[in-house]
Structure 1
């Protein structure tokens, strides 16, 4: 190889390396991973959560600007059980971030997350009642969220595996969609489709035009429509109505109402179900309902304790794993029968006079 060619190649390669180094330094300075990480941690802290990473976020330039996250842990403050564990994640940013420096996430990817429902319930139960600060703006995610190989657990019990989640663009007053699929411990497929329009108005997060469609195997389908409001912490309200279609039991009119917490009452869920062989009109804390249902198929055996509930229900049959209940009737709270000590005693029967048989003369 001629000497001049070797020198030219050396200059070109050196220049390329310098340009790449300069680009990486510029990307690091412009993306400011420490600032974005601190921003995410501050947002989590304002919700009573702690976000930590196994190593500092690292910037990437190709195929587009991004921040790579390793060892993601999301926990409630002062809690022992993490709500979410993920091997890795990525926050993709638009190219304009390098020019304008604005923090806009174009896509969020999470690989192999593990969500613990017990930890989530503990965090939610610890939220103070009454209004709290609501974000002034809805965070923009232009290309949505993509979750792969996720799991949903309750302690050591697997609830849903092989979870795949995709969502569309998240922006104020823009239609948002989400799809999720997974399999229960027996391999039965479950699929969820959700669409809504988010907005912040009057200090409240509004979710309008909600459409929810849930299928479990080919036997159960739930379709609901409605609206919801969130004013911070446990100050939430919602109204959803639609149909529950069970292949073996028929079609049921379904109505769900969420009432916000106040100084004397927790967040309350009202559930009305009306159809063949099953009728329910119940009021109970929503997380207690989830816990009660999961206890029917507990690893250590069925636990049939009824959670705090007010209302009544007549259910022909419940099948949960290997547990089957028939002819279940629930009356609790104001609709429960009066205690024996306060009930009106039954009237004593009148004495019966003996009858003397008549004899012939």
Structure 2
């Protein structure tokens, strides 16, 4: 190779290196980690949450522009118990967002998150009533969400572990899919698959064409179909029907109906279950029921109270954990509090 060619090749290599350096600097400037971090924290504050990172977000270029998040903590404002702790996360961003377009996440990845159910429930109970001026919005995620090695706990008790969750794109009017696998505290497998089409209708968020499959271990699987609506906080409704197959007791018809909170009643879940030997017809306030259930094992009270709600249960045989009950007939009277939005108290019945 002649000296002239060597000089030309070195010149081309130098120009290419300079262009690459300029590109890296330019993309770093476009990513502006501080700007996106501030945006995420502002969105969290708008939902009554605080987002903290162990270190500032770092930009990444490959395989696509992204922000790397380390040491993620998410908790309710002025609360000490975190709702979520995660080792790391990654936000992939489309190019049009970098060049000043709307803030859109192409893909969200979270590694080893830990979700505390008590803290999540406390935050959900504190949400304000629906606000027509600020209705909920469907976030847009172009290619989906990936969560790996997750766990769900209540205090120090592990409820679900080794969770893996992956979704398809989240875009109004487009079909959305969610697949989750994991293990419960007894190491039995848990699987959930959800298909739905989200869309906005006025100030409400709709979920149409819901197809829900849930299985637990080798002995239980449920398949439900229906629709749901959310207007913010406890203003939610849903209608789902389908079947539940139990290896021990056969097939059951299932109907679930969620009605929104109002001035008289809190958020209510109506459950009907009809099968060969068991019949259930209950109306339960899910938020209060979760609080009642969490208090059973906290050791703070020796008084056993009836669960909130009303209805009846007739079961030829019921297995809960290591306890088996035969010939169970249970009637529950209305004993749940009025909705927080209520301005007048209402007498409650006795269980």
Q: TM-score, normalised by structure 1?
A: 0.83
Q: Would you say 1:220 and 2:220 are equivalent positions? A: yes
Q: Would you say 1:134 and 2:135 are equivalent positions? A: yes
Partner of 1:231: 231
Matches within 5 A, 1:335-354: none
Partner of 1:349: none
Larger Rg: 1
Distance 2:246 2:298 in 1: 26
CA shift in 2, pair 1:65/1:56, >3 Å: same
Partner of 1:87: 87
Does structure 1 retain, via aligned residues, the 8 Å contact 2:306–2:332?
no
Partner of 1:357: none
**C-alpha displacement of 1:219:** 0.5
Matches within 5 A, 1:1-361: 18-99=18-99, 101-131=101-131, 133-135=134-136, 137-290=137-290, 298=297, 305-333=305-333
**C-alpha displacement of 1:282:** 1.1
Moved more, 47-56 or 224-233: 47-56
Alpha-carbon displacement from aligned partner over 1:300-343 (angstroms, at most 9, x marks no partner): 7x9964321111112233323223333332212259xx98xxxx
Does structure 2 retain, via aligned residues, the 8 Å contact 1:222–1:244?
yes
**C-alpha displacement of 1:294:** 6.5
Does structure 1 retain, via aligned residues, the 8 Å contact 2:309–2:334?
no
Does structure 2 retain, via aligned residues, the 8 Å contact 1:76–1:82?
yes
Q: CA RMSD in A?
A: 2.9
Does structure 2 retain, via aligned residues, the 8 Å contact 1:129–1:266?
no
Count of residues paired in the alignment: 335
Does structure 1 retain, via aligned residues, the 8 Å contact 2:237–2:259?
yes
Distance 2:238 2:194 in 1: 15
Alpha-carbon displacement from aligned partner over 1:204-240 (angstroms, at most 9, x marks no partner): 0011111110001111011111111111111111111
Structure 1 unaligned regions, length at least 5: 340-361
CA shift in 2, pair 1:327/1:122, >3 Å: farther
**C-alpha displacement of 1:33:** 2.1
CA shift in 2, pair 1:57/1:272, >3 Å: same
Alpha-carbon displacement from aligned partner over 1:238-257 (angstroms, at most 9, x marks no partner): 11111111111111111111
Does structure 2 retain, via aligned residues, the 8 Å contact 1:31–1:101?
no
Structure 2 unaligned regions, length at least 5: 336-348
Distance 1:254 1:144 in 2: 31
Does structure 2 retain, via aligned residues, the 8 Å contact 1:130–1:263?
no
Does structure 1 retain, via aligned residues, the 8 Å contact 2:192–2:213?
yes
